[in-house]
């Protein structure tokens, strides 16, 4: 049964103790631990949005609450809860602004990819409790965590309901089947690489590359003009 249909049917029999929220819930995430965490999250969002600038079928966000409903073994009623991944991507959805991600309002969709940025206060939870939540409740296909200080980097993919560690390439990159991209450490930052091994640039890097290519093309034209003049040919370029 589709997740969305299952949620619709189950919601009809929920206990009256369960109070569904209004149309939108605000994100309820604390401030980030450091500027390193903020820079890393922005980097992941900007690069992906630049790469997929012509796509409207995904949602990428950072430090935003994901609200969901689940069954607790200790309590028979449905419970509403939330967590705040540092960075997540949902595929096959509408690309638009959101104040939070509410699973029941998004056709039952959970994130496809999550990256947690480790810190002293969250590292243990990210490696254990959150990993278990993403495996058992979210059924999250690709989970990664990265420490911007120590550069610890690990990734897992869901196989038959259980997380299996991803095998790194020679460069230490890990493949995300959901994104069809590698993730790897480059200049102490977690970055994307294409399947051909090309670094996905930031918008600023892409603009700089384009300017360099333009400058190179202009230099080549000037050199060609000079060569033609040396041969007594008036260039018409």
Domain CATH for 121 = 3.90.1570
pLDDT higher than 50, residue 67: yes
Are 196 and 209 contained in the same domain?
no
Between residues 44 and 236, the one the model is more confident about: 44
Are 73 and 83 contained in the same domain?
yes
DSSP designation for 110: P
Give residue-wise pLDDT tens across range 198-219: 999 999 988 777 666 665 666 6
Q: What total number of domains does the chain contain?
A: 2
Report which of 128, 124, 67 is spatially closest to residue 98, judged by C-alpha positions.
Answer: 67
Please give the model's pTM, rounded to 2 decimal places.
Answer: 0.78
What is the domain range of residue 34? 3-200
**What CA–CA distance (Å, rounded) separates 98 from 26?**
9
Are 215 and 228 contained in the same domain?
yes
Query: Chain centroid to CA 65: how far?
Result: 14
Are 93 and 206 contained in the same domain?
no
Are 97 and 16 contained in the same domain?
yes
Are 49 and 105 contained in the same domain?
yes
Report which of 91, 81, 43, 37 is spatially closest to residue 63, judged by C-alpha positions.
Answer: 37
Are 196 and 231 contained in the same domain?
no
Are 118 and 178 contained in the same domain?
yes
Are 51 and 164 contained in the same domain?
yes
Share of the chain above pLDDT 90, in %: 64
CA angle 208, 176, 107 (to 5 degrees): 105
């Amino acid at each position: 049964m589709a997740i969305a249909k299952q949620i619709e049917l189950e919601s009809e029999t929920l206990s009256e103790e369960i109070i569904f929220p209004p149309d939108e819930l605000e994100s309820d995430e604390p401030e980030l631990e450091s500027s390193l965490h903020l820079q890393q999250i922005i980097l992941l969002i900007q690069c992906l949005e630049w790469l997929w600038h012509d796509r409207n079928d995904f949602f990428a966000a950072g430090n935003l609450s994901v609200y969901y409903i689940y069954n607790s073994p200790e309590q028979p009623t449905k419970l509403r809860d939330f967590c705040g991944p540092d960075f997540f991507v949902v595929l096959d959805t509408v690309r638009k602004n959101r104040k939070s991600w509410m699973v029941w309002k998004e056709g039952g969709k959970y994130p496809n990819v999550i990256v947690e940025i480790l810190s002293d206060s969250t590292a243990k939870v990210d490696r254990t409790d959150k990993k278990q939540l993403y495996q058992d409740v979210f059924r999250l296909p690709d989970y990664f965590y990265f420490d911007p200080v120590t550069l610890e980097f690990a990734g897992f993919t869901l196989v038959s309901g259980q997380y299996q560690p991803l095998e790194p390439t020679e460069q230490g990159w890990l493949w995300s089947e959901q994104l069809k991209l590698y993730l790897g450490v480059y200049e102490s930052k977690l970055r994307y690489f294409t399947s051909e091994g090309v670094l996905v640039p930031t918008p600023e890097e892409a603009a700089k590359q384009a300017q360099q290519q333009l400058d190179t093309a202009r230099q080549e034209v000037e050199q060609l003009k000079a060569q033609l003049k040396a041969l007594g040919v008036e260039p018409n370029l």
